[in-house]
Amino acid sequence: MLRKEDARFIRGRGQFVDDVQLPGMLHAAVLRSPYAHARILSVDASAAESHPKVRAVITGDLLAERGLAWMPTLSHDVAAVLATDKVRYQGQEVAFVVAENRYAARDALALIDVEYEPLPPVIDARRALDPGAPLVRDEIDGRADNRVFDWESGDAAATDAAFAAAEHVSALDLLYPRVHPAPLETCGTVASVDRVSGKLTVWGTTQAPHAHRTLYSTIAGIPEHKIRIVAPDIGGGFGNKVGMYPGYLCAVVGSRLTGAPVKWTEDRSENLMSTSFARDYHMSGEIAATKDGRILGLRVRVLADHGAFNGTAQPSKFPAGFFHIFTGSYDVPAAHCQVTGVYTNKAPGGVAYACSFRVTEASYLVERLVDVLAHDLGLDPAEVRRRNLLRPEQFPYRCATGWEYDSGDYPRTLELALDLAGYNELRREQAQRRHEHAETGNGTLMGVGISFFTEAVGAGPRKLMDIAGLGMADGAELRVHPTGSAVLRLSCMSQGQGHETTFAQIVAEELGIPPDEVEVVQGDTDRTPFGLGTYGSRSTPVSGAAAVLAARKVRERARLVAAAVLEVAANDLVWEKGRFHVRGDPAACVTMREIALAAHSDLDLPDGVEGHLDATCVYNPPNLTFPCGAYVCVVDVDPGTGQVKVRRFVAVDDCGVRINPMIVEGQVHGGLADGIGMALMELMAFDRDGNHLGASFMDYLLPTSMECPSWELGETVTPSPHHPIGAKGVGESATVGSPAAVVNAVLDAIGVRHADMPLTPAQVWRAMQGTPLRTDLAIGERS
């Protein structure tokens, strides 16, 4: 089915936040810190306040008077809304100007005089815990160092024993560099406080509108029923639009101060410098194995750079997200990980960019380690995977760190990908090319990279998972109108993933109503049921299940109404899609449309049957869903320049039942492009002073149509046994699975054991000389 939402977007009639125009609306701009770390000695806004078009200037002191200078984060920390004592990263918010138009607001920023006293910054996460390292968070009483948390998972003793007994151990240090989700639409808001009713209406780029309403209420002290959040069309989220940003709260304060609606739209450099980054995991991994490549254990230490405030958006009890799914797709008897988070003078974030709560990092780690194991043992990487993949009969499978994988047929998925790629032929071609290259010194180097990943999506069971104290269940409300069309209201929030279409398909399948006659409502907290929103590929696993179950409740009500219409017992009725008929008499039937009208009519219904056709459901998932995939990447590397060309990319995904195959494939295409971006191009590096070196699209390079090949997709279908329609999430799979395939391919081409992302021409060339760089610091330090 083609997408319903396309109709407006192809005509330029979508409505994004910056398209919102309200009478008397003012515009805001943010003054940001030029320093990574500096004490604020004074802020003089008088000249800006005198600007004829400026209506208000908000400073940290003004917020402090109202108790709003700091806000709680989603990770039990606090973050500065506007800096008061000092700035802790370049680009941090210092003042907020509200003016009559966006040009005047920007003009006025230059009139604000801030006196800074620069302080030595903490930039290299590996130096953050050194004795005498500058303290990022000296405002916290009793804090003596930059440690955010220590967290571990798995059985340390069993893992140590496995390593002690192993025939072979491969070890590898690797960096998953700091990158950024960079949705094409930046973050923004329009806040409007009605001084008469006291009601606050916020149009915002939020992936979790209901959670935002609760947070606004908690932070700003406005009762929740006096707050309406409207997430209109969102121009991509990718995890960037989950949390609260200072600009949102300042716009609310600005609207309160001026009595007018206030719009704030950040520009691209602000988005890259100050909103949620992704990754920044420094990982030391070890893999223990037999000489023939059977994995016996995995041991991992992680240093996680969280920036200046711990603002990671993830379930509260999981400070490193779901990183402990790092045993991946393999039957690993013993595993242990230890993660230490540190503060540095960088923007907060960490969980974003289709990471499924750190599954990107986990998957990259294990897929690199398995390749290094193959490299060290002289084995084919496909064969090493074959020897260790979980077998179908092992599901449900409890891994060494406790996750219970729901289902999978990994060998079948892998073999399909290898067949589609023509793996054996590729290896023959590679050998031929290597031979030619050795003979003549000419030609490109060819590499083949494999990644087999297991995802963990659909957070999650509420007794285990909450965000800011809110359990991760999601609601759905379904109402069938008297004439048979329907409206489905959801707590999730699409940012392009096609919910308006796929959720209509879910209801259509369950009730036999044409999908075009099912309106899907999302994003408006006054019109939708409570729930936690869209991220972590959780819409299909959680809201999808809620929609199915709400539809089935409606169907059972419809059965009672049909029984009254046909004057038979309800259990004598048989459902066939779109109608009930009397058992043994298909001609005695009544359609959903007829039932809908009857349910609203003067039909005499049995006692206890309410009439009308509606139902609600709150779905508390029993487990996550665990989609998987096998990816094969083929690259050509120019040995003279280090330039990488992705020649082919084969992706076989198994997300269980596919609601709309066209949309699934589009999700995969987009995620594969992310993988090429991260593996080859994208990087937020910093210099010694903490200057951000990836703060615009001139420096932060995203793949264009030229870097991406035509994707070659395949599928296997292994339904989730616990999901009402067997569907698993899939949105983030390709972003999780693809970077390792690209990196494995490039390193395979140049015959190098490891080099960190991004594999730019310079980095590839250096790796070929045996001197790959650490990519996160622009100070020339070797890997």
Instruction: Verify binding: residue 184, other proteins, rule CB under 8 A.
Output: yes
397 SS3 class:
strand
Helix locations, 351-422, DSSP H: 359-377, 381-388, 410-421
Binds other proteins (CB under 8 A): choice among 124, 233, 361, 756: 233
Binding other proteins by CB under 8 A: which of 183, 293, 449, 724? Answer: 183
Q: Give min distance, CB of 383 to other proteins, in A.
A: 30
Nearest residue (CB) to other proteins, 314 versus 494: 494
By CB under 8 A, residue 769 contacts other proteins: no
Q: Give me the least distance between CB of 734 and other proteins, in Å please.
A: 8
Q: Does 236 engage in binding with other proteins (CB under 8 A)?
A: yes
Distance separating alpha carbons of residues 363 and 671, to the nearest angstrom:
14
Q: Return the amino acid letter for 45.
A: A
Task: Kindly tell me which of 381 and 731 has the beta carbon lying closer to other proteins.
Answer: 731
Q: Report how far Cα 669 is from the mean position of its chain's Cα atoms.
A: 16
Q: Which stretch binds other proteins (CB under 8 A): 125-133, 435-443, 454-462, 696-704?
A: 696-704
- Give yes or no for a contact between 200 and 191, defined as CB atoms under 8 angstroms apart: yes
Based on CB atoms, which residue is closest to other proteins, 491 or 501?
Answer: 501
How far is the CA of 311 from the CAs of 46, 70, 136, in angstroms? 33, 12, 15
Q: What is the DSSP string of 156-167?
A: HHHHHHHHHH-S
Minimal distance in Å, beta carbon 673 to other proteins? 4
Q: Closer CB to other proteins, residue 327 or residue 505?
A: 505
Which residues touch 39 (CB under 8 Å, ≥6 apart)? Answer: 85, 86, 116, 117, 119
List b or e across 218-244, with b for residues whose CB sees 16 or more CB atoms inside 10 angstroms. Answer: ebbebeeeebbbbbbbbbbbbbbbbbb
Longest CA pairwise span in the chain (Å): 90
Q: CB of 691: closest distance to other proteins in angstroms?
A: 17
> For other proteins, which stretch binds (CB under 8 A), given 100-108, 112-120, 330-338, 521-529?
100-108
Closest to other proteins by CB, 461 or 666: 666
| Region binding other proteins by CB under 8 A among candidate stretches 53-61, 101-109, 172-180, 382-390 | 101-109
Query: Stretches 357-365, 386-394, 635-643, 667-675: which one binds other proteins (CB under 8 A)?
Result: 667-675
Nearer to other proteins by Cβ, of 235 and 297: the residue is: 235
Nearest to 449 by CA among 363, 372, 371: 371
**Tokens standing for 621?**
């998932």
Reading the block at residue 223, the tokens are: 């009762």
Shortest Å, Cβ 98 to other proteins: 17
3-state DSSP percent of the chain in helix, strand and coil, to 5: 30, 25, 45
Pick from 348, 237, 209, 337: which is nearest to 284 by CA? 337
CA 520/CA 490 separation, integer angstroms: 7
> Which one of residues 30, 40, 109, 234 is an interface residue with other proteins (CB under 8 A)?
234
Report the b/e string of 593-626 with b at 16+ CB within 10 A.
bbbbbbbbeeeebeeeeebebbbebbbbbebbbb
Task: Compute the least distance from the CB of residue 102 to other proteins, in Å.
Answer: 7
CB of 753 to other proteins, least distance (A): 30
Q: How far is the CB of 711 from other proteins (least distance, A)?
A: 6
Q: Which of residues 702-731 bind other proteins (CB under 8 A)?
A: 702, 704-706, 708, 710-711
CA 44, CA 2: separation in Å to the nearest integer? 55
Q: What is the dihedral of CA 325, 330, 331, 335, to 10 degrees?
A: -40
> For the chain, how far is it from start to end, CA to CA, in angstroms?
49
Which of 607, 698, 769, 782 touches other proteins (CB under 8 A)? 698
Window 17-46: contact mask with other proteins (x via CB under 8 A):
-xx-x-------------------------
Choosing from 198, 402, 697, 721, the residue that interacts with other proteins (CB under 8 A) is 697
Q: Taking contact as CB under 8 A, which single stretch among the options 76-84, 233-241, 559-567, 617-625 is the one that binds other proteins?
A: 233-241
Nearest residue (CB) to other proteins, 681 versus 747: 681
| Among 77, 93, 185, 455, contact with other proteins (rule: CB under 8 A) | 185
Going by their DSSP bridges, the two strands 38-44 and 86-87 should be labelled as antiparallel
In angstroms, the Cα distances linking 736 to 27, 118, 653 are: 38, 39, 12
Answer whether 740's CB lies under 8 Å from 635's CB: no
Taking residues 617 to 656 in sequence order and writing x for each that binds other proteins by CB under 8 A, - otherwise, the string is ----------------------------------------
Does position 527 interact with other proteins (CB under 8 A)? The reply is no
CB-wise, 14 or 482, nearer to other proteins? 14
- Decide: is 238 part of the binding site for other proteins (CB under 8 A): yes
Residue type, 443: G
Minimum Å distance from CB 51 to other proteins? 15
Q: Tell me how far, at minimum, the Cβ of 243 lies from other proteins, in Å.
A: 19
| Distinct helix (H) and strand (E) counts, the chain | 18, 34
Question: Can you tell me which of 103, 576, 721, 751 binds other proteins, judged by CB under 8 A?
Answer: 103
Pick the closer one to other proteins by CB: 16 or 575.
Answer: 16
Q: CB under 8 A: which stretch of 159-167, 169-177, 435-443, 668-676 binds other proteins?
A: 668-676
Residue 313 CB, shortest distance to other proteins, in Å, is: 19
Exactly one of 60, 627, 671, 726 binds other proteins (CB under 8 A); which one?
A: 671
C-beta closer to other proteins: residue 183 or 724: 183
**Residue from 91, 235, 243, 642 binding other proteins (CB under 8 A):** 235
Window 253-282: residues binding other proteins (CB under 8 A): 267-269
One-letter amino acid identity for 231? A
Beta strands at 113-118 and 38-44: parallel, antiparallel or unpaired:
antiparallel
- The residue count for binding other proteins (CB under 8 A) is 58
Residue 654 or 674 with smaller CB distance to other proteins: 674
Count of positions (residues) in the chain: 783
For 574, the 3-state DSSP assignment is strand
Residues 6+ apart with CB under 8 A from 58: 82, 95, 96, 97, 98, 250, 253, 254, 257
Instruction: Specify the DSSP class assigned to residue 539.
Output: I
Structural element, H or E, at residue 663: helix 661-680
Backbone φ, ψ for residue 29 (5° rounding): -145, 155
Q: CB 576 → other proteins: shortest distance, Å?
A: 31
| Number of C-beta neighbours around residue 317 at 10 A | 9
**Is 159:299 a contact under the CB 8 Å cutoff?**
yes
Nearer to other proteins, 354 or 542 (CB): 354
- In degrees and rounded to multiples of 5, residue 515 shows phi and psi of -60, -30
Residue 537 binds to other proteins (criterion: CB under 8 A): no
From candidates 696, 717, 721, 771, binder to other proteins by CB under 8 A: 696
Site residues (CB under 8 A) for other proteins, limited to 387-426: none
Site string for other proteins, 465-504 (x = CB under 8 A): ------------------------------xxxx------
- Enter the tokens of residue 128: 């953050």
3-state SS string for 52-83: CCEEEEEEHHHHHHCCCCEEECCCCCEEECCC
Interacting span for other proteins (CB under 8 A) from 6-14, 278-286, 298-306, 329-337:
6-14
Binding-site ranges for other proteins (CB under 8 A): 2-3, 5-16, 18-19, 21, 101-103, 182-186, 233-236, 238, 267-269, 495-498, 662-663, 665-673, 696-698, 702, 704-706, 708, 710-711
